[in-house]
């Protein structure tokens, strides 16, 4: 019984230490200059349906921040933003919302051989030189900070931000 009580006091002491000094296992500390980062969830739709696989980037409207919140939408069109791909959330402020999604024609070469196959290097060379068209799947106005009508103000306790990027498009870009 004495050993059990001793262990309980040790555990309680450790937990108290973590609470008052900050948990070393809780993730990285934010770098200097990156403050007021708050969790942000954005939900994107296109023609009213969830937009999966789209890249979202927030561009500071003042141009004064060096931090870039963004990420990739999931199958439900939802994204939890990360700043510089590393810190969960986004700094408080006003942003333009830029959305991109592209698609490239599939290769006519067929499936890639195994990396251990002697013909693998030749396959990669042919793949690199193969002419395939690439398309944007988002109306161009949403793909540039100067033209996007989408804006968001990030603040603590803000709701899920919902945006629609209009009708489905497939515009050749190369």
List the chain domain ranges. 33-100+144-166
The secondary structure of residue 120, as a DSSP letter, is H
What pTM does this model have? 0.75
Tens-digit pLDDT string for the chain (174 aa): 444 444 344 454 444 434 443 444 445 677 777 777 899 999 999 999 999 999 999 999 887 677 889 999 999 999 999 998 888 999 998 999 999 999 999 989 888 899 999 989 999 999 999 999 999 999 999 999 999 999 999 988 888 999 999 999 999 997
Distance CA 103, CA 31 (A): 35
CATH number of 33-100+144-166: 2.60.40.10
CB 34 within 8 A of CB 67: yes
Q: Give, in order, the Cα–Cα distances in Å from 104 to each of 79, 171, 173.
A: 23, 11, 10
């Amino acid at each position: 019984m004495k050993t059990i009580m001793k262990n309980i006091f040790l555990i309680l002491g450790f937990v108290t230490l973590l609470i008052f000094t900050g948990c070393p296992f809780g993730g990285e500390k934010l770098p200097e200059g990156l403050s007021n980062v708050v969790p942000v969830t954005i939900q994107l739709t296109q023609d009213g349906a969830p937009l999966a696989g789209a890249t979202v980037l927030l561009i500071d409207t003042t141009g004064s921040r060096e931090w870039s919140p963004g990420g990739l939408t999931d199958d439900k069109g939802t994204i939890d933003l990360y700043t510089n791909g590393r810190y969960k959330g986004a700094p408080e402020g006003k942003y333009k919302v830029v959305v991109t999604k592209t698609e490239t024609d599939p290769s006519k070469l067929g499936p890639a051989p195994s990396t251990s196959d002697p013909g693998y290097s030749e396959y990669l060379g042919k793949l690199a030189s193969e002419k395939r068209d690439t398309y944007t799947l988002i109306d161009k106005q949403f793909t540039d900070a100067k033209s996007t009508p989408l804006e968001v103000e990030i603040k603590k306790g803000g709701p899920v931000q919902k945006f629609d990027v209009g009708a489905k498009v497939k515009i050749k870009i190369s």
